[in-house]
Structure 1
Amino acid sequence: MVKLALPITDDNVEDTLSKALLEDIDIIELRIDQFKIRDFKHILDVIKKVKEKGFIALATVRSKLEGGADIPDEGRFEIFSQIADYVDMADIEYTSFKINKQVIDFYHSKGKSVIMSYHDFEKTPSDDYIQTIINESKLMGADIVKYAFKARSFEDVARVMCITHKNREKNLVAILMGEIGKVSRVIAPVFGSLITYTFIGQSFAPGQLEAKKLNELLEFFNIQKGWKLD
């Protein structure tokens, strides 16, 4: 079973959310690092629009190292802490060593879940390294572990799917980026991945499938929507 996540910025929010409802999106990932305006009032206004439409609100302030904006860790943590009462989940990077445990502990104190993510836009690392990311993220308290790698071959796709299936009880999100990795957007839920990311209009990551097409493929392969995090 899988949930669909749609990353958004603060551009055309109302229009994007209306389209997201039509495409049966479950989670709106607020890519706050990509917002044109990042003051608290503006961010809160966007969050409220997301919640009013009934979506799960996932807060992400992606680090520059993993494809986000150049915002100091202190500033990122400030944003995370300011909005914790208003969102449902947060996404913090495994490599954000200065603040990742702080974010997890703070959000847990609010009764909120945290995704710990790792992105490699160049390659798919070794099986041992992927297992280390999973194990250490869970030890730090991550509710969900997300890893996204650039697939250079279908062997990369197969390896990541096998590791995901082996660890499927640990609440994982597995993504392979790039043209070769596109297939993972559809098949990863079969191997235990909880979320697949999509786009409406403009994609955020290489290999994402547009929402309408992704829904058609999930339906074709009889992949069911929905789960509840324990």
Structure 2
Amino acid sequence: MNPSKGEVKEFLQKPRYVCASIFHENGADMIKSAAAAMISGADLVEIRLDALTELDPEGVRDLLKQIPHPLIATNRMKGEGGFFQGSETERIEVLLAAAEWADYVDVELQTRDKYISEIIKASKSTIISYHNFQETPPRDELFRIARMATAEGDLAKLAVMPQKMQDTLTVLEVVCRCENTIAIAMGKLGSYTRVVAPLLGSPITYASLEGEIAPGQLDIKTTREILDVFINRR
């Protein structure tokens, strides 16, 4: 059954946000880059707290309150491509502190249930994420992960590494069939999914300001221009 004109219009009017990933070892550079990203066309910024060489809850509060832009706070665990050096309890304490200022807190699906519950309770909104830098799990497994993540938080985020073109198509199928789901195929092979996924309904796509933070990221300007042509027409 073909969608009606009204359904097409409603779909195209749903916002798709360009998020700039900000990754620096000190807070001053993060504040500067966040401002530059917004000027370059980003809608919000992802602050990678795990990049900071000095990281504690009070310092996080002080940093984030100096970033007057919509933001996602992330303190990525080592097992999913992050650099946080402390204990799991310390990692969660940082995220709980960030929840006071962040619009979204991104926490990994593999985090212990009690910690996820604490973060959800403390946050305005949450992204429950899954990262796999080795492969793309089978389609049914990705569907299962997306369902689990959206059952917990406001948005699911799946970022996986494709080994063949079919893997990238599987990622796009997840976007089409799972609501409130960000899905990304990483690396050069999957870089096109970063602009195609929003066209299919992914609410957020990630772009870079000063070189890619994750494999296959495009820059903000390119991402913004493509989305403006196909979706955010003025």
User: Under a length normalisation based on structure 2, what TM-score does the superposition of the two structures give?
Assistant: 0.85
Q: Over aligned residue pairs, what C-alpha RMSD do you find?
A: 1.8
Of residues 16-25 and 117-126 in structure 1, the stretch that sits farther from structure 2 once superposed is 16-25
> Per-residue CA shift, 1:68-118, capped at 9, x if unaligned?
12332101111122232222211011122x2xx334433443461110100
Helix, strand or coil at the partner of 2:157: strand
Task: Tell whether the 8 Å contact from 2:199 to 2:231 is kept in structure 1 after alignment.
Answer: yes
Task: Tell whether the 8 Å contact from 1:63 to 1:71 is kept in structure 2 after alignment.
Answer: no
The aligned runs of 1:184-199 (5 Å cut-off) are: 184-199=193-208
Which one of 84, 87, 106 corresponds to residue 102 of structure 2? 87
User: Under a length normalisation based on structure 1, what TM-score does the superposition of the two structures give?
Assistant: 0.86
> Structure 2 regions of 5+ residues with no counterpart?
1-14
Structure 1 residue 154 displacement after superposition: 2.0
Task: Tell whether the 8 Å contact from 1:64 to 1:71 is kept in structure 2 after alignment.
Answer: no
Helix, strand or coil at the partner of 2:192: helix
Which one of 152, 155, 175 corresponds to residue 164 of structure 1? 175
Helix, strand or coil at the partner of 1:202: coil
Helix, strand or coil at the partner of 2:73: strand
Which one of 111, 129, 134 corresponds to residue 146 of structure 2? 134
Of residues 24-33 and 10-19 in structure 1, the stretch that sits farther from structure 2 once superposed is 10-19
> Per-residue CA shift, 1:121-142, capped at 9, x if unaligned?
1111101110110122233x21
Report what 2:182 is aligned to. Answer: 173
Structure 1 residue 40 displacement after superposition: 3.0
Report what 1:228 is aligned to. Answer: none
- Letter paired with 2:60: I
Q: Cα gap change, 1:84/1:103 in structure 2, threshold over 3 Å: closer, same or farther?
A: farther
Report what 1:213 is aligned to. Answer: 222
Structure 1 residue 190 displacement after superposition: 1.8
Which one of 43, 58, 63 corresponds to residue 26 of structure 1? 43
Task: Tell whether the 8 Å contact from 1:28 to 1:50 is kept in structure 2 after alignment.
Answer: no
Report what 1:106 is aligned to. Answer: 118
Give the Cα separation in 2 of the matches to 1:179 and 1:142: 29
Structure 1 residue 63 displacement after superposition: 0.6
Give the Cα separation in 2 of the matches to 1:79 and 1:143: 20
Give the Cα separation in 1 of the matches to 2:159 and 2:78: 15
- Letter paired with 1:179: K
Equivalent residue pairs, number: 215
Which one of 53, 67, 70 corresponds to residue 50 of structure 1? 67
